[in-house]
């Protein structure tokens, strides 16, 4: 009986070649889809500027694919492109992906209540509604330093993104000095006006004196003295020569 010889080697060779071809095709397709500028056969084209046109107008250009992010913006109308990546003009491969930011228009929100909150927390809440913030320090003796005293506009007011709001932050009240005016020989009415204008308090003491009644004959500290505003000043006022307390 003759033995049948099976030719195994040619079959293995054919299978190996087929596997190599299949792998090569797969790799080629992957490189095609990757948009790798060194390996793709897609042509180079000029990327136009899409900023300032609508999303629909941009997407009418079939040379590109798009990824879109929608954001509030007070400078661009709704559905208008405010930025793109990559920026134009430049050469890119056809069918490249362009990332667009598209305006959702102006956001209208209610001014949040931030009274008695820290500057950082107030800033965080206001950033969420897209307003511009101006912080103004204001002396306040009743509230701890660094907290919000008030806002303009007030909480509950409708504001738009991009609008300027003012936040007043408490700072310790500084002790200010005033200058004692020269009231010697003045009538008490005139002396009172001068003392009040200088933001001091008065303690009037009537005394016996040969001077015209109602005339200042002495006062504490003297003219030109610098004292903390609100200091009480003793003032001796003539009650006439026959005054008996």
Confidence of residue 164 (pLDDT cuts 50, 70, 90): very high
Cβ burial of 183 (10 Å; 0-12, 13-18, 19+) is buried
Mean pLDDT of 82-86: 95
Q: What is the dihedral of CA 8, 14, 15, 16, to 10 degrees?
A: 110
Average pLDDT (165-194) is 92
So what's the pLDDT on residue 175?
A: 75
Task: Give the residue from 233, 239, 241, 182 showing the smallest Cα distance to 215.
Answer: 239
109 falls in which pLDDT band (50, 70, 90)? very high
Q: Render pLDDT for 24-62 as a digit per residue (tens, 0 to 9).
A: 667 666 655 555 554 556 799 999 999 999 999 999 999
For 90-100, what is the mean pLDDT? 94
Phi, psi dihedrals of residue 210, rounded to the nearest 5°:
-75, -10
8 Å CB contact between 68 and 55: yes
Task: Output the pLDDT for position 204.
Answer: 93
Q: Determine if the peptide bond prior to 89 is cis (ω within 30°).
A: yes
Position 74 scores a pLDDT of: 82
- For residue 10, what pLDDT is reported? 63
- Average the pLDDT over 52-74 and give the result: 93
Query: 224: alpha, beta or left, given left = phi > 0 and alpha = psi -120 to 50?
Result: left
Percent of the chain beyond pLDDT 90? 67
> Residue 16's pLDDT is what?
66
pLDDT at 26: 73
Predicted pLDDT of residue 96: 93
Calculate the average pLDDT of the chain: 87
Q: Where are the beta strands (DSSP E) in 25-174?
A: 44-47, 65-71, 81-85, 90-93, 97-103, 108-110, 132-139, 148-152, 158-160, 164-171
For residue 75, the model assigns a pLDDT of 87
pLDDT of residue 241: 85
**pLDDT score for 83:** 95
pTM for the structure as a whole: 0.45
Tell me what pLDDT residue 173 has. 76
Model confidence band, residue 155 (pLDDT cutoffs 50, 70, 90): very high
Residue 73: which pLDDT band, with cuts at 50, 70 and 90?
Answer: confident
* Greater model confidence, 241 or 148: 148
If pLDDT is split at 50, 70 and 90, which confidence band does 11 have?
low
Among candidate residues 165, 76, 75, 74, the one with its CA nearest the CA of residue 125:
165
**Which range has highest mean pLDDT (30-44, 105-119, 162-176)?**
105-119
Q: Which of 239, 242, 241 is nearest to 204 (CA)?
A: 239
């Amino acid at each position: 009986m003759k033995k049948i010889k099976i030719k195994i080697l040619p079959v293995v060779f054919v299978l190996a070649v087929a596997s190599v071809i299949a792998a090569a095709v797969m790799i080629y397709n992957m490189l095609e889809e990757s948009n790798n500028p060194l390996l793709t056969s897609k042509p180079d084209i000029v990327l136009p500027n899409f900023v300032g046109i609508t999303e629909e107008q941009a997407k009418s250009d079939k040379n590109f694919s798009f990824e879109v992010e929608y954001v509030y913006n007070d400078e661009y109308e709704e559905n208008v492109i405010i930025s793109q990546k990559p920026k134009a003009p430049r050469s890119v491969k056809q069918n490249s992906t362009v990332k667009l930011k598209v305006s959702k228009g102006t956001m209208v929100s209610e001014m949040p209540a931030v009274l008695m909150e820290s500057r950082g927390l107030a800033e965080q809440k206001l950033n969420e509604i897209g307003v511009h913030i101006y912080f103004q320090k204001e002396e306040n003796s009743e509230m701890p330093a660094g907290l919000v005293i008030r806002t303009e506009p007030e909480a509950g007011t409708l504001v738009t993104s991009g609008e300027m709001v003012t936040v007043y932050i408490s700072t310790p009240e500084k002790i200010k000095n005033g200058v004692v005016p020269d009231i010697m020989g003045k009538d008490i009415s005139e002396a009172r006006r001068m003392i009040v204008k200088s933001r001091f308090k008065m303690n009037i003491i009537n005394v016996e004196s040969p001077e015209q009644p109602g005339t200042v004959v002495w006062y504490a500290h003297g003219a030109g003295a610098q004292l903390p505003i609100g200091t009480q000043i003793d003032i001796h006022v003539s009650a006439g020569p026959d005054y008996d307390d």
